Structure 1
């Protein structure tokens, strides 16, 4: 079968698992056998249009999310005119602290290459990744857009399962460092179910120094003093903790 058919099947599998549906449950919902659905997901059978729309409806995703295959191009495009850290398509590694367990959460933001005629830069947020070789092995999946300037970069994401759940990320688009930067993530706390904001590190490479990451992500006395003075959460001295990573 074609790469397109395999891609569509893999997207169906990912969104099904993200919703916690078994093969049997989705097969029953679309009035197909489990073996047929398994062949769809493996890319061994082409999905007809009616079934494709049924699956998208049940999985609560726009059908275009299942049809987002993009043919690899031999010519690498350079659609980003802004300089700095977020100046290319590809994967960015993100690190933040789990407030309830005080350990580092590893995530990946995948920035898509805009196709000809597209104005928006789309992105995918794989939150809490357990396997870098298979990003679909994540706890939460978000899709959205990226807006970039020479000074900062913003991401706006929404959850597939609950469109009302949104994540907003604002990061420093540093012109001084090629490997990493920091930003703030805002959303709803999964622990306390209230609005929250926390620090995050973004890197072009996988970071292994947990002690240094933990130190950089914690709020310092200077951070607390700045909050009291400005009545807002600000990122200052972004690179003061990263000397060992250079």
Structure 2
């Protein structure tokens, strides 16, 4: 129980700082004292459900963003290929130096839907105010997994991921396409991305998975579309 209360407090502090609120400003919005808000953030007092929803309303986020945790329970959906509710997400930063951004996804169930929170640039147990938060839904079938998310602070910043599921040799990760906008000139962009149930430590293997191959480029030139084949 104490760990859960502390984790909720950490999320409240994260979203407060992410939105550049001081303790005084948040306290005024919540109609509570600065000392009480500080105790909530430190996990020294337990809040009721109504207060939890009030925090979510102030931050303009779904309440599950405050209570999702980093324990790796499975998501109870037969169409979801993953055995964990925490997934690691990798793409190239796009800066030209082949630097990889590690992020993570938190999956939660609500009203029969798979809710997705992407902490871009964040890793479990170490969120910083510099990471971006995207919120949306995941969609699974017997052959595909996709999700669409929106930056909760910028509705123009929407991203979409899609991948096909391998028929055999499931190895705990998916390689797919990450599609959205780049704000370098505000233009559409498509990149390869990898989702994994466990952190991928081998950087060379990860770079290989994220690299657009010559075969893929040739396929695009001939048919005006990209084709991504999962390696069996």
For normalisation by structure 2, the TM-score amounts to 0.80
Corresponding residue of 1:198: 191
* Aligned residue pair count: 227
The runs of 5 or more residues in structure 2 that have no matched partner are none
209 and 69 in structure 1: CA distance in 2 versus 1, 3 angstrom threshold: closer
Deviation at 1:18, TM superposition (A): 2.2
Matches within 5 A, 1:121-160: 121-129=114-122, 132-137=123-128, 139-160=131-152
Distance 2:216 2:92 in 1: 16
2:77 to 76, 80, 88: 80
1:73-104 residue CA offsets vs partner (Å, 9 max, x unmatched)? xxx77732237xx2434222121101125300
Which deviates the most, 180-189 or 31-40? 31-40
The runs of 5 or more residues in structure 1 that have no matched partner are 241-246
Matches within 5 A, 1:22-171: 22-30=22-30, 32-45=32-45, 55-62=55-62, 64-65=63-64, 68=67, 79-82=76-79, 86-102=81-97, 103-112=99-108, 114=109, 118-129=111-122, 132-137=123-128, 139-171=131-163
C-alpha contact (below 8 Å) 1:80/1:87 kept by paired residues: no
Deviation at 1:128, TM superposition (A): 1.4
Three-state SS of the structure 2 residue aligned to 1:208 is coil
99 and 61 in structure 1: CA distance in 2 versus 1, 3 angstrom threshold: same
Distance 2:65 2:75 in 1: 25
Mapped pair 1:210 → 2:210? no
Deviation at 1:151, TM superposition (A): 1.1
Distance 2:214 2:68 in 1: 48
Taking only aligned residues, the RMSD between alpha carbons, in angstroms, comes to: 3.2
Distance 1:206 1:180 in 2: 10
Deviation at 1:153, TM superposition (A): 0.3
